[in-house]
Chain A
Amino acid sequence: MEMVLQSLVSGLLIGGLYAILGIGMTLIMGVLKIINLAHGQILMVSMYITWTLWYYLGIDPYLSIFISVPVIFFLAEAISKYLLNPLIEKESILPENQVLMTVGIGMVLVELARSIFTSDYRSVRTAYSDKVWHLGKISISFPLFVAFAFSLVLTAAMFYLLMKTDLGRSIRAASQDKIAATLMGISSEKITIFTYGLGSALIAAAGSVFLPVYYLYPDVGPLFTIKAFVITILGGMGSTIGAIAGGLVLGIAETFGATYISQGYRDAFGLFIFLVVLVFLPGGLKRFTKV
């Protein structure tokens, strides 16, 4: 019983983090219609910003969100405006090539990070890094819990933005039917650029809260790009609710698989579910929702 509960708690905590990775990617997927393969690399950049602020200025990783998020937002807007949009606008350039562009952007970011910070592993140590809560026999890591709470708040804020504001409606409109949205007076170029910024800002926040839990090196990104990709497909491309569900499902499936079958096949359980969803539920979990 204790093992079941501990697995459930661990799975949920990790799942929350996965969800926020997935939402960022699914947003970009929905509006730009491309898979952003630089996703994990942007997470890495945000982690380096957080680490630098902590190491040189002593700023708490959680506070550095207020710096890393705007910095990444504007960086991503610039990437989108000057590197992705020119490709998206040309009909003759196939979407595959836009995806390749994101791969290239990712590589440049990794090598830039390597030339500035070298390949050394970095991590932050704070007063709460090693803090643990015990609920009966279940242990909950404090930084992981904070990361989970942050993802909940961010997800809720994201949801509000998408459902209740004009900007959110424009994004949803652009993702549902770009031409119709343009005819209704929405500047699809602006929305595209903004969405890429927004999706990246989300993972920037995830990067800052995740750093106290994990560690950092220039090649940390691809690991999370793959996770985000799996979640996006699981949830149904472009669906926010789907991404949240996908993230939690992935987190819990991995943890239970690791507990009861083998840790060595941890990633395989996630991918197994991924295949099952693709075969039996094409379109992903969003089929159960309307959002």
Chain B
Amino acid sequence: MKLGKILSAILALAIILNFNGCSKKETGPIKIGVLLPLTGSKANFGEMEKNSFELAKEKINKAGGINGRQLQFIYEDDTGKPDVGRAGAEKLITVNKVPLITGGYSSSVTFAAAAVAQQYKVPFLVNTGSVDKITEPEAFNLTTKDGDKFYIYRLNPPVSEYASGLETLLSEVVKPKTVFIIHESTAFGTKGAKSFKKSAEKLGIKVLGVQSYSEGTVDFKPLLMNVWKKRPDVIYMISYVMDAAMLMKQARELGVKPKLFVGAGAGFTMPEFKANAGPASERVVSATLWHQTLPIKGAKEYFDNYIKKYGGNGPDYHGAEAYSAALVVADVLKRCNGDYSKENIKKALDATDMMTPFGPVKFTSYGKKIHQNKMRTYVVQWINGELKLVWPKNLANAKFEYPINWNKVWK
């Protein structure tokens, strides 16, 4: 009899403890992994993205979190190196046990981390890494029909589509006959150059040459001399921010004067580009994925809130991508109905169809890609020290300055 009482007491205690444990688990924060370069030469971008993730997190948690539970991001520093990124992704999955990873800045790191996510079957929502193969199942030994086995999703357009807006500007307004392509020598620049070469040929623009350089170069003059020897109409550059500034500064010093300097996003839209290049930044045109003045709901609000919280010149498209990735994560988790398993999250990702400050997000399949968000891109130009949206025409907030009298602009 006594024994029975003790037993039932223990049983009751066990039930209570177990129940406690259970409810504790369900009210704690939901942890999501974020892979970003927080140190190293790309830390500047990583910081901007981290700030944006935090900004979005605060907004989401203030509005009640994920069905009552708080959202928490666990950051892992990839230092901009693929091997470190790989280890970082592995740590997020095996140690922190996150059911979803997001982030992914540079192409080569993101691709390395994507392989890890694929191996552990953990969904990875890429928001910046742009090399095409990240959302091509072929690169992971799968086919485009293996959507249910493919765990990589991408919010930003691939690098081959960065220039789609620019292509129409070139073919409709500038109509150049020749182009020379300069690119930085990692995956981002090399693949971007290849795809722009293809689209230039499609538009009937003759590619006079393609040359690479390594990041952090001090002296670009040999490169620029070789380019200018060929007298191209357009010089197309794929560069990170400070290389972009050095390129333009030295082009001005050498008197390289094509009809148009075109940047392929990345560095050319950042405030630091203008700060370092000075007058040499004037009239430079760049493809971009986002601009705060675009008529997208929430874009301006995000931009202003960012400045209010962190000061400075405000974020560019990298920040908007990160902020929107955080919103997509929250939306996906809300649709999981309390079951935050990897498979359930993947299912919710598949069904995503929402509007973010970066633009509409929906993961689709086309060509060799699956789980890829398709977006349009824009063209901006530095006009009198300010970055203005000049293309497409119906959304522009300034007139595209062309043709350009370099002697006057660079005086």
- Which residues of A approach B to under 8 Å, CB–CB? 3, 6-7, 10, 14, 110-111, 114, 118-121, 123, 125, 129-130, 132, 139, 141, 213-215, 217-219, 223, 254-256, 258-259, 262-264, 266-267
B125 interface residue (CB < 8 Å to A): no
B211→A223 contact, CB < 8 A: no
User: Which chain A residues lie closer than 8 Å to B214 at the CB level?
Assistant: 264, 266-267
B222→A7 contact, CB < 8 A: yes
Assuming the contacts A14-B218, A114-B43, A259-B222, asked whether A264 and B211 have C-beta atoms less than 8 A apart, the reply is yes
B276 to chain A, nearest CB (A): 4
A263→B223 contact, CB < 8 A: yes
List 27 A-B residue pairs with CB atoms under 8 Å apart, sorted by A's residue number.
A6-B221, A6-B225, A7-B222, A10-B222, A14-B218, A111-B39, A114-B43, A119-B44, A119-B47, A121-B276, A130-B252, A130-B253, A130-B278, A139-B221, A139-B255, A214-B218, A215-B242, A215-B246, A215-B276, A217-B41, A218-B43, A219-B41, A219-B43, A255-B222, A259-B226, A264-B212, A264-B214
B249→A215 contact, CB < 8 A: no
How many residues on the B side are at the interface (Cβ–Cβ under 8 A)?
A: 40
B338 to chain A, nearest CB (A): 38
User: Which chain A residues lie closer than 8 Å to B255 at the CB level?
Assistant: 139
Of residues 231 through 250 on chain B, the ones whose CB sits less than 8 Å from some CB of chain A are: 241-242, 245-246, 249-250
A13 to chain B, nearest CB (A): 8
Q: List 13 extra interface pairs beyond A141-B250, A263-B222, A264-B213, CB under 8 A.
A: A3-B225, A6-B221, A6-B225, A14-B218, A121-B276, A123-B245, A125-B278, A129-B278, A130-B253, A214-B218, A215-B276, A263-B213, A264-B211
Q: What 1/0 flags go to B241-268 for Cβ under 8 Å of A?
A: 1100110011011110000000000000
B103 interface residue (CB < 8 Å to A): no
User: Which chain B residues lie closer than 8 Å to A125 at the CB level?
Assistant: 275-276, 278
Choice from A3, A110, A262 contacting B211 with Cβ under 8 Å = A262
B314 interface residue (CB < 8 Å to A): no
B359 interface residue (CB < 8 Å to A): no
B114 interface residue (CB < 8 Å to A): no
A132→B253 contact, CB < 8 A: yes
User: Which chain B residues lie closer than 8 Å to A213 at the CB level?
Assistant: 218
Of residues 183 through 232 on chain B, the ones whose CB sits less than 8 Å from some CB of chain A are: 185, 211-214, 216-223, 225-226, 229
User: Which chain B residues lie closer than 8 Å to A7 at the CB level?
Assistant: 222, 225
B371 to chain A, nearest CB (A): 31
Which 10 A/B pairs are nearest by Cβ-Cβ distance? A264-B212, A119-B43, A259-B222, A258-B222, A263-B223, A123-B276, A263-B213, A121-B272, A132-B253, A119-B44
Assuming the contacts A123-B245, A141-B253, A215-B242, asked whether A266 and B217 have C-beta atoms less than 8 A apart, the reply is yes
User: Which chain A residues lie closer than 8 Å to B222 at the CB level?
Assistant: 7, 10, 255-256, 258-259, 263
The CA-CA distance from A125 to B213 in the complex, in Å, is 25
The CA-CA distance from A267 to B254 in the complex, in Å, is 22
Choice from B44, B46, B249, B279 contacting A217 with Cβ under 8 Å = B44
A255→B211 contact, CB < 8 A: no
A2 to chain B, nearest CB (A): 9
The CA-CA distance from A262 to B209 in the complex, in Å, is 12
User: Which chain B residues lie closer than 8 Å to A254 at the CB level?
Assistant: 219
A103 to chain B, nearest CB (A): 15
B225 to chain A, nearest CB (A): 6
B328 interface residue (CB < 8 Å to A): no
Which residue from chain B places its CB closest to the CB of A214 in the assembled complex?
A: B218
The CA-CA distance from A120 to B44 in the complex, in Å, is 5
Which residue from chain B places its CB closest to the CB of A267 in the assembled complex?
A: B214
User: Which chain A residues lie closer than 8 Å to B226 at the CB level?
Assistant: 259, 263
User: Which chain B residues lie closer than 8 Å to A14 at the CB level?
Assistant: 218-219
B291 to chain A, nearest CB (A): 21
A12 to chain B, nearest CB (A): 11
B295 interface residue (CB < 8 Å to A): no
